[in-house]
Chains A and B, each alone.
Chain A
Amino acid sequence: MIAELGLYALILAFGLSLVQATLPLKGAASNHAGLMATGQGAAAAQFVLIATAFIALMHAYITSDFSVANVYENSHSAKPMLYKITGVWSNHEGSMLLWVLILSLFGAAVALFGDNLPPPLRARVLAVQGMIGAAFLAFILFTSNPFLRMNPVPLDGQGMNPVLQDPGLAFHPPFLYLGYVGFSVTFSFAVAALIEGRVDAAWARWVRPWALAAWCALTIGIAMGSWWAYYTLGWGGWWFWDPVENASFMPWLVGTALIHCAIVVEKRDTLKSWTVLLAIVTFSLSLVGTFLVRSGVLTSVHAFAVDPMRGTFILMLLVAAIGGSLTLYAIRAPKLAGGGLFAPISREGALVLNNVLLTTAAATVFLGTLYPLFLDAVGGPKVSVGYPFFNRTFVPLMVPVLIAVAAGPMLAWKRGDLLGALQRLWIAFAAALVIVMAGLYLAGFAPILSILGLGIAAWVAVGSLTEWADRVKLFRAPLGDTWRRAIHLPRSAYGMTLAHLGLAVSVAGIAASAFSVERIELLHPGDDLDIAAYHLHFVGTEPVPGPNFNADRATIEVTRNGAPVAVLHPERRFFTLQQMTTGLTAIHTNFFSDLYVALGDPDPSGGATIRAYWKPLVPWIWIGAVMMALGGMLSLLDRRWRVGAAAGKRLPAAHPAPGE
């Protein structure tokens, strides 16, 4: 009964989305206030309906209602409650429902909080949101109904893939989708602006918070996925350039370009048509990502939907959305030209460079991801595109980005002084030089690229701090003056500094991966193993029963110079239902390095293979990603996004540096 309610709500939502996609558009065209207002009601009601459907499905999972096929196929009565709940979105149908739930949430947010938008713009944005919603709801209803019943009702479910029964992976999809779908709002704004033929600073001011919020969520989502790979796979790999990873990375790269470019539109009223194009491309890549993962075009653990009908539907949706928006762009973009002038060496110029490199990098990832599929489709040879390709193409594109990250914010708008900026960056250059020299002295010439990477990280970190110090006139003005400037510096300035620092931290973590140390040995209870500065004592393994698995749990005592550091318990879990073994690694971190221990295969002689790794700076990869996301959120809290607040308060006495 509750499942039928869910389905009914979903059908109603589909009907409403058709209304939302058409009436407000007509209202905006004929300037009819009543018709325009229908968008808001439809958007709010749609959220309520889809939330109802989502709760109905969740109810079926929590109560283990195996008469619902989706629950039968993906759940089991003995599964822990957490994974019954997250099981709702760890399958194809449920994850699409989560997708539209988030879409409708954002639609409702635009409807409720968009009071400061001009009514025609709001109506058009909501109409475009309605079109996306209608397409995805149709996809769910016609190809992926999560509420299908089964007869006869099975006694128990088939269970969930043990790999997915993990907290990191359980919450990875919601964040990823918040990011993907968040970019639907910027897309809708872009299409609405194209329909109106007008993009101005106010438009950028509305779009940028949405882009930032989506970007933050996507950053967290990608970091979570990579962290999951790191602690799950048993040897500490965290990025494989796998098509499914690339699918989320491409919108992130273009989205990064977008949040930078939107600043230029807002501050300088230029690069408008380019920003609109980026907004379209970012969401298009999110759609491509959904297509790659959902259509089964890739054979991957992630891509659990294998159904050509679904693939064809998504492909058509893709063609309509991307083709339609780009056609509209081609017709309307020439009208958007104009805006402020600037010299190539300027803040605008630096952001253009950022955009050129980030979009080329995204295109490179696109090529590397889809080229094997393309070759295969035209009957060419089967090739793999693995990390060596991306190391040779993507990484060189990132080096100039990182070098520019420190210098760009130092340039003034319109016409900058590059020499002056570089002179002010001498400390950053010195820091990079010291790191590189120390690295060469200590580790030799062999890991030269990693050492240079650490040097670049130092350049970015010290450069970002220098920019902040410049703004508050650290050491150049009385301390009280500096303090006042520091307090009055807008939050978006702190957001930028924090995000750029996070980038440096991540780069350092990535560069230092090359220095990890590995010991893989067959150990018997009582045996010892030395790795880096640590001494590992293997006490033995014991069987431990879990809720829906049986585990072998090892006990390893870790000491350093004789002092106890930690007791690690890596596990091997055997899931009886799926007849599948997964590993649970044990990690001891001090935030500067990880001691990473995985339990390998048991040996007939009574021992076990212990895989131990010492990974310097690796935690920084994710700490940096969190800093980037926090930087974005800090920027979101900036006063000027809150309408009215900026006008009420006087400008800070200390005039911000050029650009803010």
Chain B
Amino acid sequence: MKFIAAFLLLLSVAAPAFAVEPGERLADPALESRARTLSEQLRCLVCQNESIDESGAPLAHDLRVLLRERIAAGDSDAQAVKFLTDRYGNFLLLKPPVEPATYVLWFGPLGLLVVAAGGALIFLRRRQAMPDAPPLTASERTQLDRLMKEGEGR
């Protein structure tokens, strides 16, 4: 616990980090910070689910530079992203947009949870709602006796 406190303490004094490739950075830290946040949301089109912020691919480099050009030119975050998605499509967005085509994707998990939880609740109620189990049949009785004996034998 002490070391957790220690590392959290370190964080509070650590300088905010801005950087991708040193040469790509914008001079203005506020703009660079915005570019950084945005580029974490954009997919490197030729990589496996890596963002352009993380990827070392040349295409990711180009997109990072393009994004920074737009931001330096005075685009808002939304405008800069739109500039890129207009050219590369929504495939660029690591977070798929919520639209009719993705309703199943976005609301599916909640729906599944409701179905699963509902099923479990019905099951649990049934398990509980049978306080009087049917009496044992003769064969079950002998089986029980046998099992009880086995249990004692251990």
Chain B residues within 8 Å of A593, by CB: 7
A515/B124 contact (C-beta < 8 A), A384-B49, A393-B109 known: no
B93-A517 in contact (CB<8A)? no
Interface mask (B42-85 → A, CB under 8 Å = 1, otherwise 0):
01000011110010100000000000000000000000000000
B54 touches A438 (CB 8 A): no
**A397 on the interface (CB 8 Å rule)?**
yes
Question: Does A375 sit within 8 A of B, measured CB to CB?
Answer: yes
Evaluate contact between A344 and B128: CB separation under 8 angstroms. yes
A609 to B95, CA, bound (A): 30
Point out which of B43, B93, B109, B112 has the most chain A C-beta atoms below 10 A from its C-beta: B109
Q: Which of A352, A355, A387, A521 interacts with B49 by CB under 8 Å? A: A387
Asked if residues B7 and A439 are in contact (CB atoms below 8 Å), the reply is no
Q: Which residues of A contact B119 (CB under 8 A)?
A: 356
> CB distance B17 to A517 under 8 Å?
yes
Q: Are A388 and B123 in touch, CB under 8 angstroms?
A: no
Bound together, the chains give a CA A651 to CA B133 distance in angstroms of: 31
Q: Hey, which chain A residues are within 8 Å of B26, CB to CB?
A: none
Contacts of A344 in B (CB 8 A): 124-125, 128
Query: Which residue from chain A places its CB closest to the CB of B95 in the assembled complex?
Result: A388
Cβ contacts under 8 Å, B125 to chain A: 344
- Near B by CB (< 8 A), chain A positions 220-269 give 233-235, 237, 240-244
Q: Does B20 contact A (CB under 8 A)?
A: yes
**A33 is an interface residue with CB less than 8 A from chain B:** no
**Which residue from chain A places its CB closest to the CB of B110 in the assembled complex?**
A393
Minimum CB distance partner of A359 in chain B = B116
Contact call A242/B49, Cβ cutoff below 8 A = yes
Knowing A383-B91, A439-B8, say if A647 contacts B154 (CB, 8 Å).
Answer: yes
Residues of A near B7 (CB, < 8 A) are 512, 515, 592-593, 616-617
Contact between A352 and B48, CB atoms less than 8 A apart:
no
Q: For residues 517 through 565 of chain A, which have their beta carbon under 8 Å from a beta carbon of chain B?
A: 517-522, 532-533
A356/B22 contact (C-beta < 8 A), A385-B96, A593-B7 known = no
A414 smallest CB distance to B (angstroms) = 10
Is B8 within 8 A of A383, CB to CB?
no
* Residue among B9, B91, B106 making CB contact with A384, cutoff 8 Å: B91
Stretch at the interface among A13-21, A64-72, A360-368, A628-636: A360-368
**CA gap between A375 and B99 in the complex, in Å:** 13
Quick check: A442 and B127 within 8 Å, CB to CB? no
Q: Does B135 contact A (CB under 8 A)?
A: no
What is the minimal beta-carbon distance from A442 to any residue of chain B, in angstroms? 4
Interface residues of A in 434-482 (CB under 8 A from B): 434-435, 438-439, 442-444, 454, 458
Question: What bracket does the count of chain A residues touching chain B fall in?
Answer: 35 or more
For B105, list chain A residues within 8 Å (CB). 367-368, 371, 383, 385, 389
| CB-CB nearest in chain B for A518 | B17
Question: Which residues of chain A from 392 to 435 have any CB-CB distance to chain B below 8 Å in the complex?
Answer: 393-394, 397, 431, 434-435
Check: A490 CB closer than 8 A to any chain B CB: no
Q: Does A341 contact B (CB under 8 A)?
A: yes
A381→B90 contact, CB < 8 A: yes
Q: Which of A367, A380, A438 contacts B101 (CB 8 A)?
A: A380
B1 adjacent to A367 (CB under 8 Å): no
A300-B48, A387-B49, A521-B22 known; A443-B54 Cβ under 8 A: no
The answer to whether A363 and B112 have CB atoms under 8 Å apart is yes
Q: Kindly state the separation between the CA atoms of A522 and B43 in the bound complex, as whole angstroms.
A: 25
- The residues of A with any CB-CB pair to B shorter than 8 Å are 233-235, 237, 240-244, 270, 300-302, 341-344, 348-349, 352-353, 355-357, 359-360, 363-364, 367-368, 371, 375, 380-389, 393-394, 397, 431, 434-435, 438-439, 442-444, 454, 458, 512, 515, 517-522, 532-533, 592-593, 600-601, 609, 616-617, 646-647, 651
25 contacts between A and B (CB under 8 A): A237-B50, A244-B48, A270-B127, A301-B48, A344-B128, A353-B120, A355-B120, A363-B109, A364-B109, A367-B109, A375-B102, A383-B102, A383-B105, A385-B94, A389-B96, A397-B113, A439-B4, A517-B11, A518-B19, A520-B17, A532-B14, A592-B7, A601-B21, A616-B7, A647-B153
Q: A344-B128, A381-B89, A383-B105 are in contact. List 15 more A-B contacts (CB 8 A).
A: A343-B128, A349-B124, A352-B124, A357-B113, A360-B109, A384-B91, A384-B92, A384-B93, A385-B94, A393-B109, A394-B109, A439-B4, A442-B5, A443-B8, A520-B20
The 10 closest A-B pairs by CB, nearest first: A386-B94, A388-B95, A442-B8, A520-B19, A518-B17, A240-B49, A364-B109, A383-B96, A242-B48, A616-B7
